[in-house]
Amino acid sequence: MHPNQLAQAALRALHLMDLTALNDTDTHASIRALAAAANTPVGTPAALCVYAQFVQTAQAALTEEGLDLPVATVTNFPYGNADPEAAAAETAAAIHLGADEVDVVFPYRALLAGDAEVGRKLVELSRAAVGDKILKVIIESGELKDPALIRQASEISIAAGAHFIKTSTGKVPVNATLEAAEIMIQAIHDAGKPVGFKAAGGVRSAADAAAYLAIADRIMGPTWASAATFRFGASSLLGNLLTTVGHDAGATKTSAY
């Protein structure tokens, strides 16, 4: 890819990022630093994604930065337990804390064992729990592995009301892949519903991001991918994107996330 094209893709990807910190070592101070990193010389990411106990810290820090960004959190994370009521209750609690978006883990192990119904119920209840906020469903494509199962989890989630389908938690050996993205975005296309896609885990460079965007552009058309329909969940990506567009990434403090 020509350097100018790569820089354009990097800038595009930056505005589609859920800038993420989901580490056991996260602190209120590190989340404030994450919010500061979102205030880049070339604009902001699409959202911040943090554990529920840091939602209000993230919101306050964004306000201090003069930024009006959504704050996302995760539920049923990272294990994807097959307990729809518990996932929905955790999702409702996250909304009560002020989360604008919730990324809930689909019960992928149940699907691997042949139970598709529990996933449908979990997504339906979680969608009801978010009210007018955004629900992203993490299907954990790297654990499902089989293209037919990735497609099935995507279709179940879309039919049950997901606003986005997301590849991965970032906590398993295989996270986002181009192959899974192709299957998932094709499922969105074929469903004909206004559902978005999120690639998470392992997207570390502008070149990586460009490859995912190329799939979306090819299947959905070059104007489809926006913050309302396409996200990258990433922690270390921001620095590379800023470097690619010609800015010093040293002050972003993302290397620890």
Helix (H, G, I), strand (E, B) or coil at 5: helix
User: Structure tokens of 119?
Assistant: 């996933």
d(CA 253, CA 30): 9
Q: Look up 166 and say whether it is catalytic.
A: yes
**DSSP code at position 246:** T
What are the beta bridge partners of residue 21? 50
Q: Which of 100, 103, 133, 136 is catalytic?
A: 103
| Sign of the CA dihedral running 153, 164, 174, 48 | negative
Q: Does the annotation count 198 as an active-site position?
A: yes
Among the options 18, 100, 166, 208, which is catalytic? 166
Catalytic residue among 121, 133, 136, 198: 198
Strands 101-105 and 230-234: unpaired
Q: Which of 22, 73, 13 is nearest to 44 (CA)?
A: 13
Task: Give me the active site residues, please.
Answer: 103, 166, 198
